[in-house]
Amino acid sequence: MFLGEAVAADVYSSRKKVTIEAATLLYDGVEKEYKQAKLKAAKTFGLHYMPTNLEVALEIDRIAEEKEGPAREERLIRMRKEALRIMRIVEKYEPILVGSVWRGTIHHDSDLDIIVHHEEPQEVLRTLEQTGLKIERTEWVSVTKQGKKKSSFHIHALSPIKEEVEIIVHSPEEACIKVTCEIYGDEISCLRSEELETVLKENPTKRFLPA
């Protein structure tokens, strides 16, 4: 093996170690953020090679498939059906399904993530309180991106099938804004209720990942 090939192989091996360790930390819930998981994993091995978020996400997916088996797909279908039920109830608020249930990459700690659009979050909350969802808590969350501060209202609930649900209320102006996924690097295309219904009929475990 040439010196360059040996170095490349060593870099790949080191990077893979950090990827697996970071993915394990996130899967086990030891860390919640990708950046912190990667930094901790690199420190564990005394390495400086940092994998991308996509590499770590794909490794989490592999771990989940290995540990959870066929039950994982069965749960995905249940969660997508539950998402459709909730989305139909809040249809007038332009709901979209995002997160791991949209992508089809759920694992044991995944929840349901639905974004709705309305200028009055309390109206959305009152609507949801009449649906059988158990509202656990609500909160305002602010983030700053590209120098602009944005706030959204988060409703945390427990569904009748005992799945954690997070409904995020954005302003109507944000309905058409295209967002790039910080983990997968692609555009978050999401699913509207009619699209989700089609997926459930034609390919209920379909995955939405970068090509």
Pairwise CA distance, residues 118 & 163, whole Å? 24
Q: 3-class secondary structure for 124-168?
A: HHHHHHCCCCEEEEEEEEEEEECCEEEEEEEEEEECCCCCEEEEE
Torsion angle in degrees (nearest 10) through CA of 141, 142, 143, 148: 150
Burial annotation 148-185 (CB, 10 A radius, 16+ → b, else e) = eeeebbebbbebeeebebbbbbbeeeeeeeeeebebbe
**SS3 state at 96:** strand
185: left (phi over 0), alpha (psi -120 to 50) or beta: left
Residue spans of the domains in the chain: they are 3-68, 70-202
Tell me the CATH number of domain 70-202, given options 3.20.20.70, 3.40.50.720, 3.30.460.10, 3.30.70.20. Answer: 3.30.460.10
| Inter-residue contact 108 to 68 (CB < 8 Å) | yes
pLDDT at 1: 47
Q: Minimal CA–CA distance to 165: which of 88, 117, 108, 101?
A: 101
Tell me the whole-structure pTM to 2 decimals: 0.89
193 CB-contact burial (10 Å; exposed 0-12 / middle 13-18 / buried 19+): buried
Pairwise CA distance, residues 147 & 6, whole Å? 43
107: left (phi over 0), alpha (psi -120 to 50) or beta: beta
Query: At a CB cut-off of 8 Å and minimum separation 6, what does 137 contact?
Result: 156
Please report, in tens digits, the pLDDT of each residue of the chain (211 residues total): 444 544 444 556 788 999 999 999 999 999 999 999 999 999 998 888 889 999 999 999 999 999 999 999 999 999 999 999 999 999 999 999 999 999 999 999 999 999 999 999 999 999 998 877 899 999 999 887 767 788 899 999 999 999 999 999 998 888 767 888 999 999 888 899 999 999 999 999 999 998 7
Give strand pairing partners of 139: 154
**SS3 state at 52:** coil
Pairwise CA distance, residues 105 & 58, whole Å? 9
